[in-house]
Amino acid sequence: MPDQLVFSFPHIGNYYIILKGLVNDLYPDAKVLPPPPITNRTIELGARCSPDFVCAPFKYNMGNYIEALDAGANVLLQTGTGCRFAYYGEVQKQILEDLGYDFTLLCLSRENTQARNAYRLLKSVDHKLRPGRFARAFVLALRKILLMDEIENYIRQNVGFETVPDSFEALHLQFLKDLDRTRTFPQLRALRIKYRKQLKCLNVTKPDRYLRVGIVGELYTLMEPFSNYYLEKELAKSQIMVSRTMSASFLLLGKKANNPFRQSNGYLKYPIGATGADSVVQCKQYFDAGYDGVIHMKSYGCTPEINAMPALRNLSRDYGCPIMHLSFDTQLGETGMQTRLEAFVDMISMRKGILLA
């Protein structure tokens, strides 16, 4: 092992803040190198070193890893369950080693997602890690995730109706800074109280009739806004309330508490892998709640989400409510996505008889 452990990990939404805190809590003597925001260079690096037909998250992660290793990281974190992504860690490790990088990969996937195995793996790079510290760090990280998802869900549903431009974004950025500095449970409780109160104080004016759109699909494409060209913000510009159930909170707690086959009411008969069944169930829930449309997003070639598409089309037919399917890859142009999104928004606004700004 090197004298100084320098950790890094893939970028996915704002969860890098929580991962940074988790690593700091687990390894106080180590250095944490959070991945920089994803750029076109990240995509180019990742795509250049990845198989052509692998899914887009693999390429994004590869770009993150290469940038981190070039910046001095020597320990990389990876995780993934539910689909072939759970096996990507070993493939990525081999590619990076073939490129000449010297590092340690800690892959928290498959059997290593179990607490005992995860502790054993994480302790392999620092024998000073004790079970108490391990448990505390993960519980604190989980509670941070729950708070972050709560705050961002509220913003997602209300930012399109703010009366003071950028008021939600300014508060959100300050929240993320404060969350990054949070190291104890009392600090986190105080943070929760503070920002719940401040969010309620932001002025919001919702018209009597407005559009509601649900977002479903593959987890990475939904949770990393760069990969979907910040689609949620584009919808908010048209004064649309956006809802998205898929989050780290759902994957860690909500998914295990639900039976997607029972909740699908016959729209699914067989397992389809990963979050495919969740996309179907969540779409049905949005239609039952009277939403005006659903957007289904996935990375190109995502088999579980492709398997979900027939059930989603059946839901759209039975409820008479539109679904737009968007497939993203590193080669997809932003202009094409925006054109389709504008057409979808125009369609659902005309169906409801609402004139958008």
Q: What is the pLDDT of residues 142-159, one digit of tens each?
A: 999 999 999 999 999 999
Residues in the chain, overall count: 357
Percentage of the chain lying above the pLDDT 90 cut: 70
Is residue 257 scored above 60 in pLDDT? no
Both tokens of residue 330?
């590193």
Residue 288 has, within 13 A of its CA and on its CB side, a CA count of 9
| pTM score, whole prediction | 0.92
Strand partners, 242: 213
The three-state secondary structure class of 101 is coil
Is residue 262 scored above 80 in pLDDT? no
Q: How are beta strands 211-217 and 6-8 bridged, if at all?
A: unpaired
Both tokens of residue 221?
């494409």
Residue-level pLDDT at 271:
79
